[in-house]
């Protein structure tokens, strides 16, 4: 059940922080299962080790994504938004158009300082015409 909840938290709600909290609980439950079953069945414990290792990797990646996104947020957002948001500052699409929130997109009426999340859903790329959902986050280093 917690695996399903993680998918909803991480992918549907796009909250790496809530996903991390969920997956840490999964890590703990997997460790407890291994320790509790060890005296009863060595094989049951050993068969659960690969799952626990996969969870550890997924936990690392989930926390890394949350930290990466947290560090790329603007300081203008409230703390709750900083903790729960998945915003990355710069976005691009198939045509290599880069949206920079600091510059906005004056050609289409998007004012400077407008975060990508606040752009209307029907906004399209001024170069290729793709909709907002075609954009992917990129590193702004």
Query: What does the pLDDT read at residue 26?
Result: 96
First to last CA, the chain: 38
Query: What does the pLDDT read at residue 115?
Result: 86
CA distances to 117, 123, 124 from 120, rounded to whole Å, are 8, 5, 9
Helix/strand/coil for 103? coil
Query: What does the pLDDT read at residue 126?
Result: 80
Query: What does the pLDDT read at residue 88?
Result: 43
Query: What does the pLDDT read at residue 80?
Result: 46
Query: What does the pLDDT read at residue 83?
Result: 46
Q: What are phi and psi of 97, to 5 degrees?
A: -70, 135
Q: How far is CA 33 from the centre of its chain?
A: 28
> What is the residue-level pLDDT of the chain in tens, covering all 141 positions?
989 999 999 888 878 889 999 999 999 999 999 999 999 999 999 999 999 999 999 999 998 888 776 665 544 444 444 444 444 444 454 567 778 888 888 888 899 888 888 888 888 888 777 778 777 766 544
Give every strand in the sheet of 90-92, ordered side by side: 98-99, 90-92, 136-138
Query: What does the pLDDT read at residue 127?
Result: 77
Query: What does the pLDDT read at residue 70?
Result: 64
């Amino acid at each position: 059940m917690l695996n399903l909840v993680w998918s909803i938290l991480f992918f549907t709600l796009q909250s790496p922080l809530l996903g991390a909290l969920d997956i840490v609980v999964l890590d703990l439950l997997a460790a407890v299962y291994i320790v509790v079953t060890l005296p009863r069945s060595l094989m049951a414990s050993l068969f659960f080790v690969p799952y626990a290792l996969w969870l550890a990797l997924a936990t690392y990646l989930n926390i890394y994504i949350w930290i990466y996104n947290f560090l790329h947020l603007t300081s203008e957002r409230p703390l709750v938004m900083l903790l729960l948001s998945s915003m990355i500052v710069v976005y691009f699409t198939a045509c290599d158009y880069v949206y920079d929130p600091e510059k906005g997109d004056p050609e289409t009426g998007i004012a400077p300082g407008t975060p990508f999340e606040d752009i209307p859903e029907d906004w399209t790329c001024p170069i290729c015409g793709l909709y907002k959902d075609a954009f992917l986050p990129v590193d702004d280093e």
